[in-house]
With several copies, the nearest count.
Chain A
Amino acid sequence: MLLTQGLACLRGDRLLFKNVEFELNAGGLLYVLGENGSGKSSLLRMLCGLMLPESGTVFWNKKPIKEESESYLSNLTYIGHLNGLKDDLTALENLTMSARAAGNEVTEDKALAALAAIGIERCANLPARVLSQGQKRRVTLAKLWLSEGKLWILDEPFAALDIASVSILAAKLGEHLSSGGMAILTTHQDVAIHAQSTQTLRLSE
């Protein structure tokens, strides 16, 4: 359902990669691997449409994402390096409001359940500013439990997580894939995720 043709990325005056092509269907998982600075995050941002490719196109259901923007975006859940949390809002407020701002009408109960699922219901009413790095990351990832989108694009989701949370997240990913979802991940860690079809894309300089 997600298809790319001849993607190339220019940063400054350096060509990070060119001719990146893959096809991702329902239930498929794609790993994007490479060293620091090889362009993984740039690729994911391109797939989301946040960055314009130097050349090439990204297709969703056979149409360029530019033309299909609304249906594509309502199917997309992206979590980048940045958490997108407001220091002055509580974990719960952060989660509810960011879901609602993305057009996903969630109740407080649902949001609380999502926080519980990833094991931080305890912090629900603490302002994000006092949370530790890993806890912040988990509040952000709780969004996945509320997501109704088919395509998940996650930039180093396991970074800063402790072992227990990593396996919770891996299980959630497996569940998403087995129910016909798609996922694209970058990671520097080795995590087992259960998927029907797994592809690997390696970026190198």
Chain B
Amino acid sequence: MSINWFKYSSPQTFYPLAGKMIPWFVWLATIFAIAGLYISFAVAPTDFQQGEAYRIIFVHVPAAWMSMVIYIVMAGWAALGLALNARLSAMMAQALAPTGAIFTLLALVTGSLWGKPMWGAWWVWDARLTSELILLFLYLGFIALQASIDDPRRADRAGALLALVGVVNVPIIYFSVKWWNTLHQGSSINMGAAPKMAATMLMGMLLMALAFWMYTVAVALMRVRCIMLERERSSDWVKELSVTAGGKL
């Protein structure tokens, strides 16, 4: 109760605060990543069916998880920004989108790289794959919309609305895609058939997911700082900052 949230939600005070938080998240991400990589390459045993290729799971699944989590978090920030007319929330939503898109892309690419040796095809029109592809389109739409509106306040609100519409649609899309696949013909491949995961594998995936998560926070904070600098370019605090930081440039 005693914290004045409005104080922290002004860019001028949040900028240095974010600057202090970033190193912490970077460290956490590094530690989790080292632990996760250690488990994925040194501890986890070879899979008797898939051989070593299954180790892709340690980036694929966390990336797929993050791609979905980030979209939800992004829409949450967007909704908050729309409801409270809070600029910082909208900026956070904007800062998360590119990272979300990157993880979606990584899930797709690593999935394909896994699919080729396992299924013999780079791509099949499976429900999960297809809906991940559509998620990528949703991210790209959000980014493109914001990039093509010059007035930042309008860009924020338009983007937020789009993110919300997307969130309503994601489950519909997911189920329709599932239906589409099962009604036409049984897909010959079923990803659920992956072997029961040993605890070590789960551990590795969780650690990698945590690393990605911390990385996401750090990068989002970095990006939100850039957005603040660009938007408040002509405000006094940015000018002051740019002059004092000038020596380092």
Contact = CB atoms under 8 A, between A and B. Distances in A.
Interface of A: 10, 12-14, 52, 129
Contacts of B151: 12
Interface in B187-242: 231-235
Interface residues of B, number: 9
Nearest to B157: A52
Contacts of A52: 85
A14 B235 CA distance: 9
Nearest to A129: B150
B146 to A, nearest CB: 16
A13 B231 contact: yes
B30 to A, nearest CB: 36
A10 B231 CA distance: 12
A12 B235 CA distance: 12
A13 B232 contact: yes
Interface centre among A10, A13, A52, A129 (most CB of B within 10 A): A13
A13 B85 contact: no
A18 to B, nearest CB: 14
Nearest to A54: B153
A14 B151 CA distance: 12
A52 B234 CA distance: 21
A10 B234 CA distance: 12
Contacts of B85: 52
A54 to B, nearest CB: 9
A202 to B, nearest CB: 24
A15 to B, nearest CB: 9
A13 B231 CA distance: 7
B164 to A, nearest CB: 18
A189 to B, nearest CB: 31
A37 to B, nearest CB: 16
Nearest to A130: B233
10 contacts: A10-B153, A12-B151, A13-B231, A13-B232, A13-B233, A13-B234, A13-B235, A14-B234, A52-B85, A129-B150
Nearest to A10: B153
B230 to A, nearest CB: 9
